[in-house]
Amino acid sequence: MCGIVGYTGARSAVDPLIEGLRRLEYRGYDSAGIALGTPTSLFIEKRAGKLANLESALSPNIPTVHSGISHTRWATHGGPTDRNAHPHVDNEGKLAVIHNGIIENYSELKAELESRGHSFSSDTDTESVAHLLSDLRKEHGGDLTQAMRAAVKLLRGSFTLLAVHADDPERIVGVRRNSPLVAGIGDGENFLASDVAAFIDYTKRAIELGQDEIITITPSSIEIIDLAGKAVAPREYEITWDAAAAQKGGFTHFMLKEIFEQPKAVADTLIGRLSDNDQILIDELHMTDAEIAALKKIVVIACGTAYHAGMVAKYAIEKWAKISVEVEIASEYRYRDPIVDSSTLVVAISQSGETMDTLMAVRHAKAAGARVLAICNTNSSTIPRESDAVIYTHAGPEIAVASTKALLTQIVAVYLLGLKLAQVRKELSDLEVKSIYHQMLELPAQIEQILETVEPLRELTRKFATSDTVLFLGRNVGYPVALEGALKLKELAYIHAEGFAGGELKHGPIALIDSVKQTPVIAILPAGHENALDEKMLSNIQEVKARGARVIVIAQEGDAVVGAEHIIRIPSGPALLQPILATVPLQVFAYEMAVARGNDVDQPRNLAKSVTVE
């Protein structure tokens, strides 16, 4: 959450600062602000609401300056008002701070600072940092870098901070703790941001920052130190996608664009993963065959949509590799004394690699002696850096808050992991692994087929736009698909939606069926007819239909369906691969419901793309 941008260089700072925020709007926010460094003072403007409100407030006579910081805020401490928007300044109005995260000890800092005569004008935790830095800078002879280093030692919480002072406006100082911050290296200009998307128009060269590292940028230099004051060598990397990848490309919304990018994303994540001698290639795992064979348990930790990918992983890994898999909600994991040791592989799934609950769970698992594998879409983000190994998905930038292509590539990644484990543990033969892998290679074309025939589904969805409840039913791997369908609908359409295992229907959920309102029920018909699960789901369909529900069924081509008002067909394939195909129509359903109800599809209310606080 929160977009942070810093710029110092030769060009007018307003353009990269505002355009950078625009690139970061997908993260979710409720106010925006900017601080421009002039030789004598700071020019500050900030407004509640969308970025357009800030742009409208900026005077046409705005000073031409060459450095500054900008911010989009998602309210935590204090409501989304003009005065609570960032930047926050000291009482002299010469030092400005922007902040992502939470300062846990802000109240005691505020009390101490007020006792020294500081006056506060907002309800935020961030303002305490501005006043603290102001005092510390004076104690360190006007050195803002050393002031930041001293301040970080006093702060508790998770945060990214950027600061600028009017006495040295070309110098911007930043620090990160459990929250994202990257630097961009330009020609006679440098950048800081919470995401490389903010400066990708200007440079493809980036620097990753470690925990509690303090970075100082000027137009001609980048210096990094640790908390001890020791210089840190910059860790530079190349950004592999371009600015066009973050544009809508002719689609009405980023989400729709990203739905249609899924065939390529799945193909890119699969490519090159089978050797000439039919071995699954996951060199990133950094485990010997003996270490893999010695594993006693897999624990998947994730949040939200990534948690549903983890649930799919359980079905696949247990069936193929015959090893126990637990799937944990990351925010709950470390609060119940979980049992893990060196024979446990913890798989942390996160699109951004910055999800705070997942990061804290990773640290807890590592402290207990477990090996941690990250599955992530964002190069050099925090979770991969702190894990023992990482499988990067290749979804490309995902701008819409509601995740689509990231989910499908996460499922592909856990499938590849499951096949690798099964092959090493000799639970599947090389021939069986090769067969499954080649079936997975058909998925991009099958997703393309679904998308080519999606228009009737979009039209159908509009008929349900006034519904106030939608229920989703699934069995086996269809159960996490049902949960994901319900989550997407809640996120985008703002209506009550629940996913249930089909067998649980009679244990309570069937009471939600309203014959007067003709409650819509979406059922995922199990594939493969294993254990007659398809027949059991057809019975569930009859049960809800008898009570007045309007039933939509997602079924493979050729499967017999009785009792459905509408049938959405997906290509036939193995049961364990069905989640990738069955999820796509549910994404389209949620998208079209949001559009029909007039909602902001790419930036749903109250949500942020990357949840970087616990």
Q: What angle do CA 383, 385, 386 make, to 5 degrees?
A: 65
* 8 A C-beta contact, residue 103 and residue 126: yes
Task: Check the CA dihedral 182-408-304-586 and report its sign.
Answer: positive
Which pairs from 255-259 meet CB under 8 Å and 24+ separation? 255/400, 255/402, 255/404, 255/492, 255/591, 255/601, 255/602, 256/591, 256/601, 258/398, 258/399, 258/400, 258/404, 258/405, 259/404, 259/405, 259/451, 259/584, 259/587, 259/588, 259/591
> Rounded distance, CA 539 to CA 506, Å?
11
The CA–CA distances, whole Å, from 95 to 119, 129, 138 equal 14, 10, 12
* 8 A C-beta contact, residue 222 and residue 216: yes
Residue 609 appears among annotated catalytic residues: yes
> Rounded distance, CA 192 to CA 214, Å?
12
The closest of 557, 372, 356 to 453, measured between CA atoms, is: 557
**CA 190 from centroid of its chain's CA atoms:** 26
Quick one: 277 exposed, middle or buried, by C-beta within 10 A (0-12, 13-18, 19+)? exposed
> Which amino acid type is present at position 100?
N
β-pairing, 88-89 with 389-392? unpaired
> Rounded distance, CA 219 to CA 539, Å?
68
* 8 A C-beta contact, residue 401 and residue 294: no
Q: What angle do CA 572, 577, 583 make, to 5 degrees?
A: 85
SS3 readout for 400-461: CCCCCHHHHHHHHHHHHHHHHHHHHCCCCCHHHHHHHHHHHHCHHHHHHHHHHCCHHHHHHH
Residue 39: is the preceding peptide bond cis (ω within 30°)?
A: no
Residue 40: count of CB within 10 angstroms of its CB: 9
The closest of 155, 223, 210, 218 to 182, measured between CA atoms, is: 210
> Rounded distance, CA 364 to CA 337, Å?
10
Residues in CB range of 456: below 8 A, 6 or more apart: none
> Rounded distance, CA 547 to CA 204, Å?
58
Residue 296 appears among annotated catalytic residues: no
Active site residues: 2, 609
